[in-house]
């Protein structure tokens, strides 16, 4: 894939966004399992058209927030709004209509092992749309091309794909319904450095081309530096800091100091 430097809107200027500029609004959200509280009174805004990197230590609840927004994990309290709609107040039909406006790439791809790449991409189409098989085939092939896979990957099963190909196939499925919001859970996890850099470039290019809002859970420092407009850091169940990376680099929070100025980070900056 040729190197493309994405040009993104200047969203990370520290200004308070207007209500219609907020794609996802989280207020006072608490989530737990049994007696364990994972997220406590968490607030977060994801602005339209930005790439927001969501970071935190392992097991702190980054993916839990993603699943709470998607409705896969039940929150204990608080409110979540997507495009100004309070998810708790939507009917089942209204929620399904909203689901068509987002796509999800899970950490390990979560492809159906018994379906080909083409069939995996068509799963959301069959769920939400009423299209002919010929049209679904055409649309799925367009998504395969969009994510940089060769056409012959369409008829392969997940077991026949490399790690990088699985990520791209899963991304193609996430884009199947032309979403406005893209949720990415550790998108470069398990990829070698070259593959991870290429995937970052792909995300940046698609975000610019399609005007996507991207909520990206990640540990990857390279991703934060290369494609994120803003970063939100999770610690002690809350967002400890958020803003452009240059602001988080100045934070005195102990976890952020360790994350951005630890041994691995210092090696990257040499």
Q: Where are the domains of the chain?
A: 22-269
Using DSSP bridges, classify how beta strands 85-86 and 77-82 pair: parallel, antiparallel or unpaired: antiparallel
SS3 of 36-62:
EEEEEEEEEEEECCCEEEEEECCCCCH
Helix then strand then coil, % of the chain, to nearest 5 = 40, 25, 35
Q: Which helix (H) or strand (E) holds 190?
A: none
At residue 18, the pLDDT reads 58
Q: For the whole model, what pTM was predicted?
A: 0.87
Question: Can you tell me the distance from the alpha carbon of 77 to that of 179, in angstroms, rounded to the nearest whole number?
Answer: 27
At residue 30, the pLDDT reads 96
At residue 16, the pLDDT reads 52
At residue 230, the pLDDT reads 95
At residue 17, the pLDDT reads 55
Coil, helix or strand at residue 148: coil
Question: Can you tell me the distance from the alpha carbon of 61 to that of 83, in angstroms, rounded to the nearest whole number?
Answer: 23
At residue 207, the pLDDT reads 94
The end-to-end CA distance of the chain, in Å, is 27
Mean pLDDT by 10-residue block, N- to C-terminus, for the chain (270 residues)?
38 52 95 92 96 87 91 94 95 92 89 95 93 95 95 95 92 96 90 88 94 92 90 91 89 83 54
User: Do 219 and 59 form a contact (C-beta atoms < 8 A)?
Assistant: no
At residue 234, the pLDDT reads 92
At residue 2, the pLDDT reads 37
At residue 13, the pLDDT reads 46
The hierarchical CATH code for the domain 22-269 is 3.40.50.300
């Amino acid at each position: 894939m040729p190197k493309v430097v994405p040009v993104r809107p200047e969203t990370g200027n520290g200004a308070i966004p207007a209500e219609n500029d907020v794609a996802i609004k989280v207020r006072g959200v608490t989530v737990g399992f049994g007696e364990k509280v994972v997220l406590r009174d968490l607030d977060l805004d994801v602005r339209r058209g930005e790439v927001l990197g969501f970071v935190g230590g392992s097991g702190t609840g980054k993916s839990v927030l993603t699943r709470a927004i998607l409705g896969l994990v039940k929150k204990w309290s608080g409110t979540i709004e997507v495009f100004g709609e309070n998810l708790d107040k939507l009917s089942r039909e209204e929620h399904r209509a909203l689901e068509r406006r987002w796509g999800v790439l899970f950490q390990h791809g979560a492809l159906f092992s018994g379906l080909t790449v083409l069939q995996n991409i068509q799963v959301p189409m069959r769920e939400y749309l009423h299209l002919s098989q010929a049209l679904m085939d055409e649309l799925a092939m367009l998504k395969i091309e969009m994510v940089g896979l060769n056409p012959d990957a369409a008829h392969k099963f997940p077991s026949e794909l490399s790690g990088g190909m699985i990520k791209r196939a899963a991304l193609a499925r996430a884009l199947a319904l032309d979403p406005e919001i893209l949720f990415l859970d550790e998108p470069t996890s398990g990829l070698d450095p070259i593959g991870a850099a290429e995937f970052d470039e792909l995300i940046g290019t698609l975000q610019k081309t399609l005007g996507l809002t991207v909520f990206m859970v990640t540990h990857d420092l390279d991703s934060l530096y290369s494609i994120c407009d803003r970063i939100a850091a999770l610690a002690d169940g809350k967002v400890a800091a958020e803003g452009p990376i240059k602001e988080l680099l100045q934070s005195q929070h102990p976890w952020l100091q360790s994350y951005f100025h630890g041994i691995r980070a210092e090696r990257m900056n040499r």
